[in-house]
């Protein structure tokens, strides 16, 4: 064998070894990626349905719940309250919370809450307006400096507070006053991220405009209920 052929064979052998190593590494990467996808693929959020029935003041229609993706009634409580020392204290309140039904409400996290306060005394509207100014302008302690924006087209006065929570969810609260009633609707929402149609284990806050639209939708429906 000539000396000229030996370097050529060595080069072929080196190239073949590099190709084999690359194929092996590629196979390992593909296997790891497939396992990664299986381990972290998004799972349906929520829990089994509670079968609780909301009180009439908190009833939401199927079309609204389908958009908020919160079919699970977690709490629905009415709280009559006698006037206290504070002249602006409400006379009645309802507190309702909704979560998600596993297998029905998707893989993106959603949590919904509505607090309804009403005044029935002679100066009810004045007391409600004072309560609105306090609630709508307060800064949440659980998140850093939420943004506050006035909202038109609902109630006598309304405003949004928006922030991102420590666990990466968008948190939007819409506070609305209509006459002697003040309603706060809060939506916490976080979306699953997808890349090239491949689910990843990361999430992002749901865009604020979508959360604002949904809280306004809920508040409009609640305000349409009789507020005796």
Top-confidence residue, 215 or 137: 215
Q: Residue 99: which pLDDT band, with cuts at 50, 70 and 90?
A: very high
Checking if the pLDDT of 143 tops 60, the result is: no
Within this chain, do residues 3 and 77 fall inside the same structural domain, yes or no?
no
For 108, list phi and psi in degrees, rounded to 5: -90, 135
- Do strands 109-118 and 92-99 pair parallel, antiparallel, or not at all (unpaired)? antiparallel
| CA-to-CA dists, residue 19 to 30, 48, 142, angstroms | 16, 52, 55
Q: For residue 78, what is the domain's CATH number? A: 3.40.1000
pLDDT (tens digit, 9 = 90+) per residue, 100-117?
999 999 989 999 999 999
**217 three-class SS:** helix
Lowest mean pLDDT among 71-75, 127-131, 164-168, 215-219: 164-168
Residue 154 domain-assigned (yes or no)? yes
| pLDDT at 27 > cutoff 80 | no
State both tokens at 64.
């609204």
With CA atoms as reference, report the closest residue to 173 among 206, 204, 135: 135
Quick one: pLDDT at residue 115?
94
Do 34 and 66 have their domain in common? no
Mean per-residue pLDDT for 7-13?
60
Question: Which two tokens mark 76?
Answer: 């629905």
Residue 42: what pLDDT?
Answer: 64
Q: Given its phi and psi angles, is residue 75 left (phi above 0), alpha (psi -120 to 50 degrees) or beta?
A: beta
Q: Tell me: the pLDDT tens digits for 157-172?
A: 999 999 888 888 999 9
Total domains, the chain: 2
Q: CA 138 from chain center: how many Å? A: 21
Tokens for 177? 């006053």
| Distance from C-alpha of 46 to C-alpha of 184, rounded to nearest angstrom | 23
Q: How confident is the model at residue 40 (pLDDT cuts 50, 70, 90)?
A: very low
State how far the Cα of 227 lies from the Cα of 118, in Å rounded to an integer. 8
Task: Report percent pLDDT > 90 for the chain.
Answer: 46
Q: Is residue 47 part of a domain?
A: no
What is this structure's pTM? 0.77
Distance of alpha carbon 136 from alpha carbon 118, whole angstroms? 16
Tell me: do 65 and 174 sit in the same domain. Answer: yes
Per-residue confidence (pLDDT) for residue 198, from 0 to 100: 56
Q: 172, 177, 176, 152: which is closest to 162 by C-alpha?
A: 172
Report if residue 79 sits inside a domain: yes
Q: Which domain holds residue 17?
A: 1-40
Q: Are residues 62 and 30 in the same domain?
A: no
pLDDT at position 147, please?
79
Same domain, residue pair 104 and 177: yes
What is the C-alpha separation between 212 and 216, in angstroms, rounded? 6
């Amino acid at each position: 064998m000539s000396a000229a052929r030996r370097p050529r064979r060595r080069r072929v052998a080196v190239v073949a070894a590099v190709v084999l190593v690359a194929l092996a590494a590629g196979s390992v990467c593909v296997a790891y990626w497939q396992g990664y996808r299986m381990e972290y693929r998004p799972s349906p959020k929520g829990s089994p349905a509670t079968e609780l029935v909301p009180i009439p003041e908190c009833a939401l229609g199927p079309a609204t719940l389908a958009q908020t993706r919160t079919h699970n009634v977690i709490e629905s409580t009415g709280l009559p309250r006698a006037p206290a020392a504070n002249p602006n204290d409400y006379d009645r309140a309802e507190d309702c919370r909704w979560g998600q039904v596993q297998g029905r409400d998707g893989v993106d996290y959603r949590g919904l809450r509505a607090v309804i306060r009403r005044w029935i005394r002679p100066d009810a509207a004045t007391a409600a307006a004072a309560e609105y100014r306090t609630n709508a302008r307060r800064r949440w302690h659980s998140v850093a400096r939420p943004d506050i924006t006035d909202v038109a087209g609902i109630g006598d006065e309304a405003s949004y507070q928006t922030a991102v929570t420590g666990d990466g969810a968008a948190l939007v609260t819409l506070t609305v006053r209509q006459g002697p009633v003040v309603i706060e609707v809060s939506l916490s929402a976080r979306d699953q991220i997808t890349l090239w149609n491949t689910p990843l284990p990361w999430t992002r806050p749901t865009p604020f405009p979508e959360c604002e639209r949904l809280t306004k939708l809920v508040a409009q429906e609640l305000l349409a209920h009789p507020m005796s």
